[in-house]
Structure 1
Amino acid sequence: MNQPIQHPVIDDRMARLRQRDCPTSQFRAYVQEISQMMVPAVTADLFTLPTQVETPLEITTGRKLEREIVLVPILRAGLGMLEGFLRLLPESAVAHIGMARNEDTLSPESYYFNAPTSLTDADVMVLDPMLATGGSASAAIDELKKHGAKHLRFACIVAAPEGLERLNSDHPDVPVYYPALDSRLNEHGYILPGLGDAGDRIFGTVQE
């Protein structure tokens, strides 16, 4: 279930983000800004419950989120999106999954998992800036489901058709949110036109 996100300000930040000469500080800031602007779309269909609210003048009925939110950045690039989501969802719990891609096989390798004790009754949002082959995202969602997660969604900044196809096939119950759908992967599994290695550019570890 694919959920493209369209917004002119996101488009503006995306163009700046893609620039080869975008410095690390600005790249990191644009990732956070785009992520923050994605939150309303990613959360638009969350379930709510009525709740009694006492205003300064009288008692009325409001709405509250039905389930706790757990944000799950896939290490390490997913950390770049976390702050943007936390700015609008500061009450969220944060889990972490470490998934490293083997550059020879393009297959994900898990090396770390840390999450709240119960994910079953939470809205779990998996964050990773790039959805390339879809292997890491699919494996991360597999791991979360093993730990009881049932209400999952995946948010990325740039997606490749191959990654969307993989995630839709492996996890048709998980909606995928993205503002940019690029054309294809190259022979090394990188998204074209893409924006380079998001983790390296977020953390300033780009190798010249």
Structure 2
Amino acid sequence: MEPNVITHPLVADRLRIVRDASSDTAQFRSAMEQLGQMLSYEALTNLEFDTVPVTTPVTETTGTYVHRNVLFVPVLRAGLGILDAALRLVPEASIGFVGMARNEESHVPEAYLASLPKDLDAKQIFVLDPMLATGGSLIATCEELVSRGAKHITAVCVLCAPEGIAALQESGLPVSLVTASIDERLNSDAFIVPGLGDAGDRLFGPR
């Protein structure tokens, strides 16, 4: 699994805003949502589709019909910050929810919610999780999805740490990764460096 790092100047510009500690909540939310839309656009490149007949005002031709079997899975709570952006691209998509809370002592994610369809065999699945730090939350989410029949999963992450990417690769899970940046490392508190802080807190306020 080689991460797909999106290097478009507009992605880099919005990434600057979410990194900046002086960005207020409104600025952070707006930039995160725009990042979510640009990254989701790239992640959706390989959507399943059919060629269908189309009648224009002038003649008969053909067009592309994208299958509506898409499932977006935001990892709560930070994943909600990019869900609306993804839905603007595929408004017919289904939505599942996985809740992960970080244990501040062990840094190990703890699941508290899995609201998902029972059978995911026919779904095109996109996990929305702005931060890939240790990889624990994303791996646990993807393991739950695979247990329900998921054949392939695309993860949309704004920032990634090398440690998280390595853990995801070693997991052997059928996951591809789209991101705006692979950062330097994790610090002793398992935060991404240089990172952007706690995405959930900056989007919704501290818990």
Q: Same fold (TM over 0.5)?
A: yes
2:191 matched residue in structure 1: 190
Q: Which structure 2 residue ranges, 5 or more long, are not aligned?
A: none
Post-superposition offset of 1:83? 1.1
Please list, as runs of the form range in 1=range in 2, the aligned pairs for 1:4-23 lying within 5 A after superposition.
4-23=5-24
Conserved? CA contact 2:143–2:173, under 8 Å: no
Q: Which structure 1 residue ranges, 5 or more long, are not aligned?
A: none
2:27 matched residue in structure 1: 26
Residues 169 and 67 (structure 1), Cα distance of their counterparts in 2 relative to 1, 3 Å cut: farther
Can you list the C-alpha shifts for 1:80-129, whole angstroms capped at 9, x where unaligned?
A: 01011111121111110001121222222111111234321111000111
Q: What is the number of equivalent residue pairs in this alignment?
A: 206
C-alpha separation between the residues in 2 aligned to 1:203 and 1:177?
A: 24
1:148 matched residue in structure 2: 149
Residues 56 and 117 (structure 1), Cα distance of their counterparts in 2 relative to 1, 3 Å cut: farther
> After the TM superposition, which parts of structure 1 deviate over 6 Å for at least 4 consecutive aligned residues?
none
Post-superposition offset of 1:172? 4.7
Residue identity in the other structure for 1:60: T
Conserved? CA contact 2:127–2:155, under 8 Å: yes
Post-superposition offset of 1:150? 1.3
Post-superposition offset of 1:57? 2.9
Conserved? CA contact 1:138–1:171, under 8 Å: no
Greater mean alpha carbon deviation, residues 51-60 or residues 99-108:
51-60
Matching of residue 138 in structure 1 with residue 139 in structure 2:
yes
**What fraction of aligned residue pairs are identical, expressed as a percent?**
42
Conserved? CA contact 2:68–2:92, under 8 Å: no
Post-superposition offset of 1:133? 0.1
Please list, as runs of the form range in 1=range in 2, the aligned pairs for 1:44-193 lying within 5 A after superposition.
44-66=45-67, 68-193=69-194
Residue identity in the other structure for 2:179: Y
What is the TM-score normalised by the length of structure 1? 0.94
Greater mean alpha carbon deviation, residues 26-35 or residues 142-151:
142-151
What is the TM-score normalised by the length of structure 2? 0.94
Can you list the C-alpha shifts for 1:134-168, whole angstroms capped at 9, x where unaligned?
A: 00100000001111111211110000000001111
C-alpha separation between the residues in 1 aligned to 2:184 and 2:125?
A: 28
